[in-house]
Structure 1
Amino acid sequence: MSKFMKFMEEKLMPIAAKVGQNRYLNAIKDGFVYAMPFLIIGSFILLMVNLPFTDSNNALYIEWYSNFMGEYKGELVQPFYVSMGIMSLFVSYGIGMSLSNNYGLNSTTGGFLSMYAFLLVSAKLDWLPVGQVEGAETLFLISDGGWMPIMDARYLDAKGLFTAILGAIIAIEIFRFLVRKKFVIKLPDSVPPAIAKSFELLIPIIFVTIIFHTLNILVISSMDVMVPEIILKAFAPLLNMSDSLLSLITILVIIHLFWFAGLHGTNIVVAIVNSITLSNLAVNQAALQAGETLPKIFAGGFVDSFIFMGGVGTTLGLTLAMVRSDNTHVKSIGKLSLLPAIFNINEPIMFGTPIVMNPLLFVPFIMVPIINGTIAWFATKYGLVSKIVTLVPWTTPGPLAALLATNLDISAAILSLSLVLLSYFIYTPFLKLYTRSLNESEV
């Protein structure tokens, strides 16, 4: 164990520190954080219009709900389409704003530049006569004989996430390069700052337009596909592998090793994990809307629903064990940590027990999430619980999060609660060893 601790201090912690300070990963993380409130609201809208009350052969059937959704579902689901349905647009702006701020550039103009670059290669727009779009008069409230703009929004949702990420980074690097070389328009100090900043962006916009629009034209003319489709195909193997049990376990091990070393492992890898889980969530939501079988397991808040109950390490089970401990120190930390743990906040127990750099609690801290994740993965794979279709706030208590995320599947909530109890029983003997060591040191 001493060799392992030395390895953690000398090898792992420097790597984790560099990863945690990487400006690109931090910008991607911020982009998802800024977009998350909109995505959560959109997900709940999707949940509300797809509650399992419409099947007349189901015991949960509610006639008035089924009739109401049959008539108004199209109108009610619109907030979903303009949140989850265009999530890449939100993310591209957030990444550009964060990365610009990191470079000391104007964050607002950087955000708009990134969003503009993303739209150049992801959203073709044309004007069509209303008659060419079936049902346009009633659907979009346009008079017959008029014209309407049609934008291809297929890649504004999660399918465009990787394009949004790459486009935002490239656009801001162009912005930074031009500002550093002073190749921008500078107005006198007497000009209002907002106007001066807008003119400063003119030349970067010209360069971004030339580069991104030329790329778009070349790709469409030579390959007859959109740029996001090419990028999506390039990342398809990663997305396919990400839904495997091995990928889930690998991510859990990395997160918990970083946390054990005293670093916020979740924040370090969240940019990569969110790219995967939100893409998978969008696939499930599209399948739900189409009435098809949901394909993805590791989607949305899967880890929050079935693994991170109480926070990383499934420490709600440990907190319950600590509350029942005979050791005064351990018991007091457990009581102090119980309420935050219910809402998946476990810094008090991580640093108060402590778990960080505590060799006696290392094994359960790593193994409990792996065991729980494996059980939940197989339970989902074989249909014992439903797949994730709704994004819920990470502070939602595990069983409730599982219930909401799986479209009110009671078995998912029962599984989540059962995994909390399982973690309690696994942690208990290790906690007794730890309290014994504390008692001996106090003698």
Structure 2
Amino acid sequence: MEKFMKWIEEKLMPPMATLAEQRHLRAIRDGIISTLSLIIVGSFFLVIVNLPIKSWEAFIEPRLGDIVLPFRITVGLMALYASYGMGYSLAKSYDLDGISGGVLSMAAFLMTNIPLNVVDKATNTELGWIIPMEYLGGAGMFTAILTMILAVEILRFCKTKNITIRMPEQVPASVARSFEALIPASVIIIIIWAIRVMLGFDINNALMKLFSPLVKIAGNTYIGILIPTLLITLLWAAGVHGVSVIGSLLRPIWLVLLEENMQIVANGGVAPNIGTEGFYDLFMWIGGSGGTLALCVLFLLSKSAYLKQVGKFSLVPGLFNINEPIIFGAPIILNPILAIPFIVGPAITATTTYIAMKLNLVSKVSVMAPWTLPSPIKAVIATNDWRAAVLAILNFLILLAVYYPFFKAYEKKLLEEEQQKEVA
């Protein structure tokens, strides 16, 4: 195990650490995260319409469209909001104007969606031009990422090559920014217009077809949920923030899967996709990456003064899925004794959760709950299924069992060191 950890530290860790700081991936991560507050609020309206109470279902049936409207305006437009956030973040990383980067990215993304002139057949009156929402939510996330990169890189190119309109110093900064972005905006809009309208190439549809095999693998196959689990815990054990690296790559896919689940549930169906981000947050990362809440509990019962102290200051954050105190306090990073259960435990709970959802013993995730909620509570809210709490508790007990022998071995080692210090 020590040789394996050394290989991770020397060979795997450096490129992954570099990848985590790659500006485009960081912009994608930050831009998507900026939309989470809207997604969480919007998804709670799905909880309201899906309470398993017959009298409540009958009561809200006539009002269903009105109640789910906040969901459609938040989750249904997540790619639109993310396009601005990602563009802003990437532009700022280049020391460009963030607002211009965000606006140009959002405009480029919207240009890939052709408005339709809708006519009310009942009254034969025109309702006006309407942008279809099909690709403004999770399904359009890949397009939002691509158009964001194109828009900001064109903005950067024009700025670097001084291809811009400069206004006198007396002109207000906000007005000057608008004119500086005029040429890049023209280039961006003309390029997207030519591809989407003049050539008739549907960027959204093409990207969805391109990524659909990857989405299917990540969403509904055992290998698709096991590989991210192992990569995240391996990176954490080596000192790299695993969720930041792997999440930056997979979060767009996770959001596509989650939004599909949400839309189907909002329309009265059953969520089909297993491998959403909630799959990991609710049932595997109990207490944070690696399922470390179980280790916090074991540390509290330790005979080692040091481990008991770590357990005390790690327990409350762990209850709310914040585990940096125990990861760095134990430490788990580059610690072969604790790294083994940190990696193996979530792999086992990923298996139990996958089997439970595949056999429809527990509903799939269709609501994005706040990540800081304790696991059993969050599991019920996110799946609208009380059995999810049972599964979360079962997984916690599994993690306890996996961590226990390694905890005892580590405790023995520390007790010996503490006794030696007392003798000295």
Q: Under TM normalisation by the shorter chain, which class is it?
A: over 0.9
Which consecutive residues of structure 2, in runs of 5 or more, have no partner in the other structure?
none
Shift of 1:145: 4.5
Shift of 1:300: 3.9
Residues 402-435 of structure 1: per-residue CA shift (max 9 Å, x gap): 101101x111101101211221122111111001
Q: Residue 334 of structure 2 aligns to a residue in which SS?
A: coil
The 8 Å contact of residues 46 and 71 in structure 2, kept in 1 or not, is answered as yes
Measure, in 1, the Cα distance between the counterparts of 2:7 and 2:148. Answer: 36
Out of 164, 176, 199, the residue aligned to residue 156 of structure 2 is 176
Aligned length: 418
Measure, in 2, the Cα distance between the counterparts of 1:219 and 1:255. Answer: 42
- Note the 1:6-405 alignment, pairs <5 A: 6-53=6-53, 61=54, 63=55, 65-121=56-112, 123-129=113-119, 131-132=120-121, 134=122, 145=125, 147-220=127-200, 226-243=202-219, 244-405=221-382
Measure, in 2, the Cα distance between the counterparts of 1:173 and 1:386. Answer: 42
Percent identity of equivalent pairs: 39
Measure, in 2, the Cα distance between the counterparts of 1:2 and 1:240. Answer: 36
Measure, in 2, the Cα distance between the counterparts of 1:326 and 1:194. Answer: 63
The 8 Å contact of residues 296 and 387 in structure 1, kept in 2 or not, is answered as yes
- In structure 2, the partner of 1:58 is none
Measure, in 2, the Cα distance between the counterparts of 1:90 and 1:391. Answer: 16
Residues 121-176 of structure 1: per-residue CA shift (max 9 Å, x gap): 1x2124344x33x5xx8xxxxxx856422222211011101000111011111111
Residues 203-251 of structure 1: per-residue CA shift (max 9 Å, x gap): 011000110000002442xx6xx32011100110110111211121111
Moved more, 204-213 or 299-308: 299-308
Measure, in 2, the Cα distance between the counterparts of 1:432 and 1:300. Answer: 32
Question: Partner letter of residue 19 of structure 1?
Answer: L
- In structure 2, the partner of 1:422 is 398
- In structure 2, the partner of 1:57 is none
Runs of 4+ aligned structure 1 residues displaced above 6 Å come to none
Measure, in 1, the Cα distance between the counterparts of 2:301 and 2:170. Answer: 68
Residues 321-373 of structure 1: per-residue CA shift (max 9 Å, x gap): 11111111111111111100000001111111111111111211100000001
Q: TM-score, normalised by structure 1?
A: 0.91
Which consecutive residues of structure 1, in runs of 5 or more, have no partner in the other structure?
54-60, 138-143
Question: Partner letter of residue 411 of structure 2?
Answer: T
Q: TM-score, normalised by structure 2?
A: 0.95
The 3 A distance-change label for structure 1 pair 186 and 173 is same
> Pairwise CA RMSD of aligned residues?
1.5
The 8 Å contact of residues 304 and 401 in structure 1, kept in 2 or not, is answered as no
Measure, in 2, the Cα distance between the counterparts of 1:230 and 1:84. Answer: 22
Moved more, 259-268 or 103-112: 259-268
Question: Partner letter of residue 68 of structure 1?
Answer: F
Measure, in 2, the Cα distance between the counterparts of 1:379 and 1:358. Answer: 32
Question: Partner letter of residue 417 of structure 1?
Answer: I
